[in-house]
Chains A and B, each alone.
Chain A
């Protein structure tokens, strides 16, 4: 099987196989005719292990948010499997899916629009109990909500306040408390800190790490900020135009990247060190990301890649450990979907 992402030990809690999500493009009002499809996610496979954080990075339009929505059941996949503890949940009935989804909760990016402004904080955090009444009997709910407020570092007396009375960072804590209400095993966080200021972002990142230790949570952490992802992730998957370009441990991806896209991405991140200006290996990519409605044949990155040859247009490179590293202990020996995978250091070391 062309799937080896060097995952941690034990059986994965979540196994994603060949996940595909196409959004139909239609023309006409009365007789809507499908004229194509946006291939938002187009064959993605990875594992998530108990207690680990898998970071998914990529630029806008790469499909990372669609992956998040598929994982928590907000979208149904076009094809492929999402196996939770061995059971494929992508084909479950709505009722059966609801039971499973207790264990997979989501934290959203925007703390300003993801909380209902007309609901009190208590109602927002307690709302999951309305949908899953078996999780907490009615008389316990208020106490549970207050506990949750305390867990995320907010005053339990704030239970009757409204979202507008809180700052962005506090609102994100409310969103996290809501995500924790059902005691899930997995939290899928889509850009959970990108709307926050630096000083507040650090508080929320630390909170997520504490909660992970305390409740043995597994995270899928989706973000475009490569520094935050390195900080919080055990393993990292790099996504480009609906597919995974490279997967590995955070060290393999950041210190030993072998896919040209990963290398370009990492080399473009500004680092807070003016001394790095002169000695950095910068790879400037030409052009923009192609449209996911009409992706290039073969390797999707080839239209912007400096290594591209005929082979790249003809053959889709599998996400696999490059031949010369297979079976070796080299840190470059991790899955990379490139015909010409080769290690290159692009992150300045101290």
Chain B
């Protein structure tokens, strides 16, 4: 079962994404509400999540900074950006995100992208 860490400062986004993802057979391995908490949670998590869904605009630390730090700690971490702000696409990709998804996103596309990057990781891990 593909595990997902959701990073977003909006409580309701966590709620709806969790319900959608769980209903589609994914496992939510954790929640973080800003970039700094995401880095902290990632360090503590064992096993690591298969996919991290990362927002950009959050208090304390942005998604791009958190992505850089997590990638520095673990280059095999798989981070998908999910943001309303398309202007940060390049910054997110440069920080080490695998892909950039624009909010609002339909669930089918979200599931497809999570499965795509989780399965590509499984292939390269094996």
A binds B: no
